[in-house]
Amino acid sequence: MDDRAALLERIHELEAALSHRDGELARLRQNVEALQRLLWGGSERRPGPDPAVAANQLFLAGILEGALRGPAVEHAEVTTTIQVPAHVRTKKGRRAQFPEHLPVLTTRIELDASERTCRCGGDLVPMGQETSKELERVEFSLVHEIQRVTYCCRSCQENMVTAPAPDRVIDKGLLGVGFLAHVLTERFQHHMPYHRQEKKYASEGLALSRSVLCSSAIRCAKLLQPIAEELKREILASGIVHTDDTPVTMLEDATGAKRQARVWIYRDIQGRCYFDCTESRSRDGPRAIFGDYAGYIVADAYPGYDRFFTEGTALEVACWAHTRRKFLAAESSEPELAREAIARIAELYAIEKAAADFEDEARRALRSEQARPRLAALRAWFAETRPTVLDRGPLAGAIDYALANWDALVRYTEDGRLPIDNNAAERALRCVAVGRKNWMFVGNPEGGRAAAGVYSLVETCKAAGVNPRDYFQDVLLRIGRCSDVTRLTPHGWKQHFQAEVETRRHDALRRLFGTA
């Protein structure tokens, strides 16, 4: 028996040694891979903008390009003149300290003629120059004057023909498409409320009231609403929808009374976003959007969604990040057990991190192999731990929440496309959370719906890698002539029109500066 016990002890020692060796080998292998990436890996630096699309950063080219929009104007003879003390420099230096696509303004300083005489009496002649560079910013407005020439027949003195007019967003409006795109992005991307924009423009000598800015933005939002509705249709058709909501303050009436409204986000896994503004948090808001939707809904445990899961064909996917926060809140009262739960949930996220670049089926297989056993063990731990904690404490509430939503919490393992949490929706809603600190409240339901529509396009542009200002400046003119609204969503516009717009603006840039 002694020999057997000694042999078993020796086996355990060897197993421990092997485990330690495997861990050390893994650590060394990781170090070697890191060194290999450092020595021979590709650079992480992203290439700078192509000079061919430099006009994206040059508002003058955008204005000229807009002046040529419209089927009638495309065949007309157009001449534009402007004085610009800059030129685009494309030569690449040894050290690219400044973006190469920016125009360069050169100031040359020479000695006064009276100082070009040497002490010996000879003339001083140029032999070189010292050059320094600094980045400057010029932001200003200008008046775009469009002159349409009228022709007449001197023979019969009856027939008069005027050159065609370019497309305009607001007929006889004060603001051009570039300014309208600027107002929308300032308000909905950079969170600058209309009263601050009013003060900013007033400092430039422009008498643009907040009412003009607001009404112009609402008219643009109405034009863009069909695109937002198409986003909603595509999101619901995707079969996997993230949803969440956040409160906003809405004015009750002209007296200044206020009430709490809600902004809802509906997002698919490709990044398409649809925002909706309702006057309360009742279930009627989601019901109006989802209808008879059949698919997965990724959400928190808001009871307003329950009817979709109990009465319809939708399947609930609960959020592990939301669950984890409840254990974080319990850490101060029962730290040891709360930290163990947090550590177990971290193991689930480690599996997701490892599968981040996997195909959907490979991700599902990895979850089945590694996540499901951990989930089963975690549920058993919850059941075992629950009787030992304070019955009304935060840890008991966290465990009860997890067990009550368990089927929805583990559903993400069924399909490799499903996310482990609802963080994507929460990130998309952050624009509203940041914005309301600046604009404070929504003026009325119409303004809330208009804002929701523009937010839908701005956030989808970000997900698609599209500059919202460039997108608005083109789509506001294009929407009146394009019957296929699927091509005007940010993803569709990027595929069908972005290259065309960049080419047109590059041509406009050459008109302005005479560059090749």
| Backbone CA torsion sign across 190, 192, 197, 203 | negative
* Residue 16 C-beta-side C-alpha neighbours within 13 Å: 6
Highest mean pLDDT among 16-20, 405-409, 441-445: 405-409
Task: Output the 3-class SS for 75-128.
Answer: HCCCCCCCCCCCEECCCCCCCCCCCCCCEECCCCCCCCHHHCECCCCCECCCCC
Cβ count near 338 (within 10 Å): 22
Residue 261: DSSP 8-state: E
Per-residue confidence (pLDDT) for residue 87, from 0 to 100? 42
- Please state the rounded mean pLDDT for residues 184-207: 91
> Per mean pLDDT, which range of 187-196, 213-222, 434-443, 464-473 is the poorest?
434-443
| Backbone CA torsion sign across 162, 168, 173, 179 | negative
Per-residue confidence (pLDDT) for residue 390, from 0 to 100? 82
* Average model confidence (pLDDT) across the chain: 83
CA distance 235 to 274: 8
164 falls in which pLDDT band (50, 70, 90)?
A: confident
67 falls in which pLDDT band (50, 70, 90)?
A: low
| Backbone CA torsion sign across 135, 136, 141, 144 | negative
What is the separation of C-alpha 153 from the centre of its chain, rounded to a whole number of angstroms? 55
Question: Measured over all CA atoms, what is the biggest interatomic distance in the chain, rounded to whole angstroms?
Answer: 127
> Per mean pLDDT, which range of 102-111, 240-249, 274-283, 445-454 is the poorest?
102-111
Whether residue 221 is predicted with pLDDT greater than 60 in this model: the reply is: yes
Domain boundaries in the chain? 320-421
Per-residue confidence (pLDDT) for residue 26, from 0 to 100? 52
- Please state the rounded mean pLDDT for residues 106-126: 83
**Alpha carbon of 503 to those of 40, 51, 164, 498: distances in Å?**
36, 11, 23, 9
Per-residue confidence (pLDDT) for residue 368, from 0 to 100? 95
Nearest to 457 by CA among 437, 446, 442, 471: 471
> Per mean pLDDT, which range of 266-275, 341-350, 445-454 is the poorest?
445-454
Per-residue confidence (pLDDT) for residue 324, from 0 to 100? 95
How many residues appear in the chain? 516
Per the model's pLDDT, the better-predicted residue between 55 and 354 turns out to be 354
CA distance 119 to 116: 10
- Please state the rounded mean pLDDT for residues 166-174: 84
> Per mean pLDDT, which range of 223-232, 281-290, 334-343, 346-355 is the poorest?
281-290
Question: Is residue 414 within 8 Å of 388, Cβ to Cβ?
Answer: no
* Residue 171 C-beta-side C-alpha neighbours within 13 Å: 2
Per the model's pLDDT, the better-predicted residue between 135 and 70 turns out to be 135
33 falls in which pLDDT band (50, 70, 90)?
A: low
Place of tokens 């009013």: 198
Q: Exposed, middle or buried by CB within 10 Å (0-12, 13-18, 19+), for 233?
A: middle
> pTM for this structure?
0.76
Per-residue confidence (pLDDT) for residue 304, from 0 to 100? 82
Question: Is residue 265 within 8 Å of 423, Cβ to Cβ?
Answer: no
Nearest to 217 by CA among 273, 278, 175: 175
Cβ count near 350 (within 10 Å): 13
Q: For the packed helices 210-237 and 445-464, what is the interaxial angle rounded to 10 degrees?
A: 60
Angle CA(204)–CA(208)–CA(211) in degrees, nearest 5?
A: 150
298 falls in which pLDDT band (50, 70, 90)?
A: very high
Supply φ then ψ for residue 123, to 5 degrees.
-85, 140
- Please state the rounded mean pLDDT for residues 51-59: 41
3-state secondary structure of 276: strand
